[in-house]
Chains A and B, each alone.
Chain A
Amino acid sequence: MCGKPERTTMSGLNAIMDNSLSALLAAQAGLATSGHNIANANTPGFNRQDVIFGTRRPEVLGYGSIGRGVEVMGIRRIQDEFLLNNMRSQTSRLHSYAAVDTALYDIEGILGSIDNDHLGDALNNFFSAWNDLAQPPVNNSLKLNVVSKAQTLVADFHAIEEALRSLETDLEKSIQAETENLNRLLQDIGELNRQVMAAESNGHPANDLRDQRDLRISQLAELAEISVLEREDGSKDIILAGRTMVARDRVTLFEGIYRPDGDGYTFAVVTEGNQQDVNLSPGKLEGLLAARDVHVREVREQLDAVARQLISEVNGLHTQGLTAGGRGVLFFTGDSMSTIEINESLVSNENLVATGRTGTTADNEIALAIADLGRASLVGPNRKSINESYRSVVTDVAGKLNSFDFMVENQLSVVASLSARMASISGVSLDEEGANLVRFQNSYNAAAKVIATVQEMYDTLLAIV
């Protein structure tokens, strides 16, 4: 129902002026937010912000209510929390796979390549040297060649053992460094929780602080898969490996320690203080530990087994031989890749290399049998030959590396897809912000025009007086 219009008064013009002023302020807030978005277009972890506008409560008059302008209700971060959590979880897996993949790549490099198969070539050359020695007329100078090839083989075993040990040390250093990194991130998150709680005590979200905290949490997720719980006070609790590591601003840290293990030490990640073992969830740290404790160890054990088989089978035959110096001596000593050595007496006197059972110059039965070890095991047709045992190690590593390459590549695609979706939702579009700039500028201009019009009205009224 329409009522009778009120008279125009000075107070009515003031209300219009007030409306326009709110519009000017809102447009300024919009321009400022767009400017903030443009300024942080390339800031890691930044989520674009949006001004929430609302109409001010209208003035109710006899004939109805007149609007009183616009007000800025708040500024929000545009973010999809579900997508973010999913992204963190997938990132954890990616870094777990990548850590193992890198270690396997290093192991592959240690073993060699198709054209430079260190230990494989050394094994082939060793058995070829025995074959050459066995071939009549038996040439004693070729005994020196057998000893030389055996020395090369032993040196290759040692070099691989040393390289694997060095890789283990590197992995331990990485674990140590990443543990420190993890602790630093936990501390940062605790501190940011404190700042967010303080900043949001007035009821307004601390968008930029939240962005910084989410960035730290995402970086933390690279190291280990985590769960995040947000409290009403704005703080976020971090749960890692079943333990609450961050609760508001209280933080529990990890540490890396060396524990006695047999003759040596094992590096372990435990909680700081009470030193409780941690069963790490997928992430770079867990990947590094798995690379060291599972993959490197497995290769070492497999190569130890190859060395043991070589030592056992060659010695078994060589000690059946007879030389001018008597019964054949042990050809190799030791029982693993690190301890295998050629018998020193053979190095100082190659004539102790036995070629046959009778000790006569041309008896080559033992040499032929040892030359055959490269292709057939002594124990029977179902057992692998020494070369086959070694090939299994290489094939196993190659298979694992290939699988992890594949998993890393797949996981990269998943993370890239999620990252693109996050960029689509939370990223800054310069086109969009440019359009917003024009829109808010026009709003500002229009509001200013209204003020200018009211000014003219004031002037008209004052001229009458």
Chain B
Amino acid sequence: MTIRITDSYLSAIMVGDMNRSLAGLLEQQRMAGSMQRVNSYSDDPRAVGTIQRLNALITRNNSYLTNVSRSRTLVDGTDIALQDLSEILADVRVIALRESSSLANGETMTNAANEVENLVGRMMEVLNTSIEGHYIFAGQRTEDAPFVFKNGSVTYVGDGGEINGRTGPNSTMVLNIAGDVFMGGQSSSLAGGINLGLGLRDSTLLTDLNLGEGWDSGSISITTGSGTVHQIDLAGAVTIGDVISRIEAGTKGTITAEIDPDGFGLVINGNGPLVVGEVSDGTTAGSLGINTSTDGNTLRGSDIRSAPDRDTLLSDISALEGKLPLGALDIVWEGSITNLNLGTAVTLGDVMDQFASAMPGMELNLLDGYLQVVGPGATAFTIRDGDASGTASALGISGEGTPARMFGIMEDLQAALNAEDKDAVHGAVSELMALSRTMTGLLVKNGGRQNDLDWADGILRQRDERLRTNLSLERDVDVARVAADLSRAQASYQASLLVTSKIFGNNLMQYLR
């Protein structure tokens, strides 16, 4: 169809074209200005829901990150308090051991009673720790101090409530330790008395020594009775065998070293008196248990056994030498006796699993090389040998599991010290050890929460990054593309202006003169 070109036709076409060019330019300028592909909801309705959802997820994720951060305040505060309590208990145990020895007398015991009283005061302060005005060991009653003196004794007035923190869309975790755990309100426990550390061998790795704490690499000095000083460089040693070889090589055979028959530590033989010491303020000799001296020709080092774990073979545990296979043990709890035969156990894990399946609700844990039995509630229980094999005794768990009574022990100890009753003072030591094990268990539990929070923090940060990336992909512009499109739109608009000015500049009237 032939189009008749009129001025209004030209005008309509040109103005329409210019408007389209201008609209395109405006859209590109808007995107370039905001660097966002979607500015209004209607720019891309499909993307709007996604963008809003991602924005909400980012806001929520940030809340979880804040939660984790605030949870760390509580959990870290709890960790510091538990470590303080552990140190106080260790101090009390040292006092009990000191005052039950032959060196103690009436005066030292009276002074010790005062020391214990002061430590009880410190213990109260620690257990009444508050963060932002909230008492961390009070269960859910965090507004009031949970440990108070009542009728001459310390009483817990908090509750056993849990405080839950939200650390992710579907994850909450308990953040607090209610103070009744220190008063026996939650469990009874029996601390194992036998170190189940692995006996040393030539192949034992130095990094496994001291129940897994390892050793400090460096040099040691050995002084013999003739005054000869041997400085031995042990750096680079990997196993106990390497240490023995280097000591013998470094002294040209004048001194020999060996593992003691029990497998607990090292024995140094030479021309006494022997003195083993550190070099340049090092701690190598101490970490090998031989930073000591002897008047004789044989220097016996301290216990540096490595820590067992669930996979440890019972046959590798020096304390069980000659006591395998294990036999039966009796567990007396709430009026019934369970006879558990551990004859088929090969590893420590087997022992723990068989115990758990025989006694649902009770736990057999491994803490720092010792076993610990934890029973539910405040009911006491007893574990004893179940046959002639002496299995309970061999594992160090023969005895009564009682509710923890942190302040009760302190009161008993103070009374015993004031009464100058050394036997009673000594009797408190084992209960203090059990308490220490409880504290270690709580520290491990709380440490696990710290790890969980670290893990949650990492996950949430990764998630935040992923969400922001997705948001950017959905919302933001491709800069290079927008720059190119903007240039094209500008050129298009300028071209339409130029063409319009040319066309409207010419008509027949100009030539009819």
Chain A interface residues (CB < 8 Å from chain B) = 41-42, 48, 104-105, 108, 111, 113-115, 117, 120, 124, 127-128, 131-132, 134-139, 356, 358, 360-365, 368, 371, 374-375, 387, 391-392, 394-395, 397-399, 401-402, 405, 416, 419-420, 423-425, 427-432, 434-435, 437-438
Of A105, A134, A138, A434, the contact of B508 (CB 8 Å cutoff): A434
A398 touches B4 (CB 8 A): no
User: Which residues of chain B come closer than 8 Å to A115, judged between CB atoms?
Assistant: 34, 36, 39
* Extra contacts besides A135-B165, A361-B142 (7): CB < 8 Å: A114-B36, A137-B142, A139-B134, A362-B140, A371-B63, A394-B49, A429-B4
Residue of B nearest to A425 (CB): B4
- In the bound assembly, the distance between CA atoms of A364 and B16 in angstroms comes to 63
Of B5-13, B293-301, B408-416, the stretch lying at the interface with chain A is: B5-13
Residue of B nearest to A137 (CB): B134
A139 touches B132 (CB 8 A): yes
User: Which residues of chain B come closer than 8 Å to A430, judged between CB atoms?
Assistant: 7, 507-509
Residue of A nearest to B4 (CB): A424
- In the bound assembly, the distance between CA atoms of A364 and B139 in angstroms comes to 12
Q: Is B41 an interface residue (CB 8 A)?
A: yes
Q: Is B38 an interface residue (CB 8 A)?
A: yes
Q: Is B70 an interface residue (CB 8 A)?
A: yes
Residue of B nearest to A399 (CB): B45
User: Which residues of chain B come closer than 8 Å to A124, judged between CB atoms?
Assistant: 55-56, 59-60
B7 touches A434 (CB 8 A): no
Q: Separation in Å of the B40 CB from the closest CB of chain A?
A: 6
Known contacts A120-B56, A423-B6; decide if A135 and B509 are in contact (CB<8 Å): no
Q: Is B488 an interface residue (CB 8 A)?
A: no
| CB-defined A-B contacts under 8 Å, sample of 21 | A113-B41, A132-B63, A135-B66, A136-B74, A136-B164, A136-B165, A137-B73, A137-B132, A138-B142, A362-B134, A363-B140, A368-B164, A368-B172, A387-B56, A391-B49, A395-B48, A423-B6, A423-B11, A424-B3, A427-B8, A429-B7
Interface residues of B in 254-281 (CB under 8 A from A): none
User: Which residues of chain B come closer than 8 Å to A394, judged between CB atoms?
Assistant: 41, 48-49, 52
Q: Is B176 an interface residue (CB 8 A)?
A: yes
Q: Is B82 an interface residue (CB 8 A)?
A: no
- Give the one of B34, B164, B475, B512 with max A CB within 10 A: B164
Q: Separation in Å of the A13 CB from the closest CB of chain B?
A: 35
Q: Separation in Å of the A80 CB from the closest CB of chain B?
A: 12
- In the bound assembly, the distance between CA atoms of A108 and B157 in angstroms comes to 57
User: Which residues of chain B come closer than 8 Å to A368, judged between CB atoms?
Assistant: 164, 166, 172
B52 touches A416 (CB 8 A): no
- In the bound assembly, the distance between CA atoms of A204 and B64 in angstroms comes to 85
Interface residues of B in 494-509 (CB under 8 A from A): 507-509
- B464-476 vs A, CB cutoff 8 Å, 1 = contact: the mask equals 0000000000010
Of A356, A375, A398, A423, the contact of B60 (CB 8 Å cutoff): A375
Interface residues of B in 53-95 (CB under 8 A from A): 53, 55-56, 59-60, 63-64, 66-67, 70-71, 73-74
Chain B interface residues (CB < 8 Å from chain A) = 3-9, 11-13, 16, 34, 36, 38-45, 48-49, 51-53, 55-56, 59-60, 63-64, 66-67, 70-71, 73-74, 131-134, 136, 138-143, 159, 161, 163-166, 169, 172, 175-176, 475, 507-509, 512
- In the bound assembly, the distance between CA atoms of A135 and B453 in angstroms comes to 14
User: Which residues of chain B come closer than 8 Å to A42, judged between CB atoms?
Assistant: 8
User: Which residues of chain B come closer than 8 Å to A375, judged between CB atoms?
Assistant: 56, 60, 169
User: Which residues of chain A come closer than 8 Å to B136, judged between CB atoms?
Assistant: 137
A429 touches B6 (CB 8 A): yes
User: Which residues of chain B come closer than 8 Å to A435, judged between CB atoms?
Assistant: 508
User: Which residues of chain A come closer than 8 Å to B138, judged between CB atoms?
Assistant: 362
Count, A-B residue pairs, CB within 8 A: 188
User: Which residues of chain B come closer than 8 Å to A131, judged between CB atoms?
Assistant: 60, 63-64, 67, 166
Of A113, A135, A138, the contact of B71 (CB 8 Å cutoff): A135
A361 touches B134 (CB 8 A): yes
Overall SS of chain A's interface? helix
- Give the one of B8, B41, B141 with max A CB within 10 A: B41
- In the bound assembly, the distance between CA atoms of A124 and B52 in angstroms comes to 10
Q: Separation in Å of the A195 CB from the closest CB of chain B?
A: 26
Residue of B nearest to A412 (CB): B16
User: Which residues of chain B come closer than 8 Å to A48, judged between CB atoms?
Assistant: 6
Of A117, A364, A438, the contact of B55 (CB 8 Å cutoff): A117
A361 touches B143 (CB 8 A): yes
Residue of A nearest to B3 (CB): A424
- In the bound assembly, the distance between CA atoms of A434 and B512 in angstroms comes to 8
- In the bound assembly, the distance between CA atoms of A434 and B508 in angstroms comes to 6
User: Which residues of chain A come closer than 8 Å to B139, judged between CB atoms?
Assistant: 360, 362
- In the bound assembly, the distance between CA atoms of A114 and B477 in angstroms comes to 14
Of B36, B51, B70, the contact of A136 (CB 8 Å cutoff): B70
Residue of A nearest to B34 (CB): A115
User: Which residues of chain A come closer than 8 Å to B143, judged between CB atoms?
Assistant: 361
Known contacts A135-B165, A427-B7, A429-B5; decide if A114 and B507 are in contact (CB<8 Å): no
- In the bound assembly, the distance between CA atoms of A139 and B66 in angstroms comes to 14
Residue of A nearest to B70 (CB): A135
B475 touches A114 (CB 8 A): yes
A117 touches B52 (CB 8 A): yes
Identify the 8 closest CB pairs spanning chains A and B, nearest first. A427-B6, A398-B41, A137-B134, A427-B8, A434-B508, A401-B42, A360-B140, A398-B45
Q: Separation in Å of the B188 CB from the closest CB of chain A?
A: 26
- In the bound assembly, the distance between CA atoms of A388 and B138 in angstroms comes to 39
User: Which residues of chain B come closer than 8 Å to A135, judged between CB atoms?
Assistant: 66-67, 70-71, 165-166
- In the bound assembly, the distance between CA atoms of A397 and B49 in angstroms comes to 11
Residue of A nearest to B172 (CB): A368
Known contacts A114-B39, A117-B55, A136-B165; decide if A420 and B45 are in contact (CB<8 Å): no
Residue of B nearest to A41 (CB): B7
- In the bound assembly, the distance between CA atoms of A399 and B44 in angstroms comes to 8
- In the bound assembly, the distance between CA atoms of A397 and B48 in angstroms comes to 10
User: Which residues of chain A come closer than 8 Å to B53, judged between CB atoms?
Assistant: 391
A420 touches B49 (CB 8 A): no
B131 touches A108 (CB 8 A): no
User: Which residues of chain B come closer than 8 Å to A425, judged between CB atoms?
Assistant: 4
Known contacts A371-B166, A402-B42; decide if A358 and B140 are in contact (CB<8 Å): yes
Known contacts A364-B163, A394-B52, A437-B512; decide if A128 and B63 are in contact (CB<8 Å): yes
A360 touches B159 (CB 8 A): yes
Of B11, B55, B131, B509, the contact of A137 (CB 8 Å cutoff): B131
- In the bound assembly, the distance between CA atoms of A426 and B140 in angstroms comes to 87
Of A104, A114, A138, the contact of B48 (CB 8 Å cutoff): A114
Q: Separation in Å of the A151 CB from the closest CB of chain B?
A: 19
- In the bound assembly, the distance between CA atoms of A120 and B16 in angstroms comes to 39
User: Which residues of chain A come closer than 8 Å to B172, judged between CB atoms?
Assistant: 368
- In the bound assembly, the distance between CA atoms of A430 and B34 in angstroms comes to 46
B41 touches A108 (CB 8 A): yes
- In the bound assembly, the distance between CA atoms of A355 and B134 in angstroms comes to 15
Residue of A nearest to B509 (CB): A434
Q: Separation in Å of the B397 CB from the closest CB of chain A?
A: 36
Known contacts A361-B140, A394-B48, A405-B42; decide if A136 and B8 are in contact (CB<8 Å): no
- In the bound assembly, the distance between CA atoms of A429 and B509 in angstroms comes to 11
- In the bound assembly, the distance between CA atoms of A124 and B509 in angstroms comes to 68
Known contacts A111-B41, A360-B159, A424-B5; decide if A134 and B48 are in contact (CB<8 Å): no
User: Which residues of chain A come closer than 8 Å to B475, judged between CB atoms?
Assistant: 114
User: Which residues of chain B come closer than 8 Å to A137, judged between CB atoms?
Assistant: 70, 73-74, 131-134, 136, 142, 163
- In the bound assembly, the distance between CA atoms of A358 and B164 in angstroms comes to 14
User: Which residues of chain A come closer than 8 Å to B63, judged between CB atoms?
Assistant: 128, 131-132, 371
User: Which residues of chain A come closer than 8 Å to B163, judged between CB atoms?
Assistant: 136-138, 362, 364
A395 touches B38 (CB 8 A): no
